[in-house]
Amino acid sequence: MKKIYPLELIRSLLLFIGENPEREGLKKTPERVIRSYERLFSGYKKDPRDLLTVFDGENYDEMIVAKNIEFYSTCEHHMLPFFGEAHIGYIPLKKIIGLSKLPRMVDIYARRMQNQERLTSQIAQSLQKLLNPRGVGVVLEARHFCIMCRGVEKQRSQFITSSLLGSFKNDMNTRSEFLKLIGK
Active site residues: 75-78, 116, 144, 146
Cα(178)–Cα(184) distance, integer angstroms: 9
Say how many C-beta atoms besides its own lie within 10 A of residue 86's C-beta.
27
Nearest CB to Zn ion, comparing residues 78 and 95 = 78
Which residues make up the interface to Zn ion (CB under 5 A)?
A: 75, 77-78, 146
**What is the distance between the alpha carbons of residues 179 and 116, in angstroms, rounded to a whole number?**
19
| Smallest distance, Zn ion to C-beta of residue 97, A | 31
User: Nearest residue to Zn ion, using CB?
Assistant: 146
Of 27 and 77, the one with the shorter C-beta distance to Zn ion is 77
| Degrees to nearest 5, angle at CA 137 with 88 and 113 | 70
Q: How far is the CB of 147 from Zn ion (least distance, A)?
A: 7
Of the pair 78, 94, the CB lying nearest Zn ion is at 78
CB 39 within 8 A of CB 15: no
User: Which helix (H) or strand (E) element contains residue 119?
Assistant: helix 116-131
Q: Given the complex with Zn ion, which of 54 and 146 has the nearer CB atom? A: 146
Question: Closest approach of Cβ 170 to Zn ion, in Å?
Answer: 33
DSSP letter string, 133-158: -SEEEEEEEEEEHHHHSSTT--TT--
Shortest approach of Zn ion to residue 142 CB, angstroms?
Answer: 11
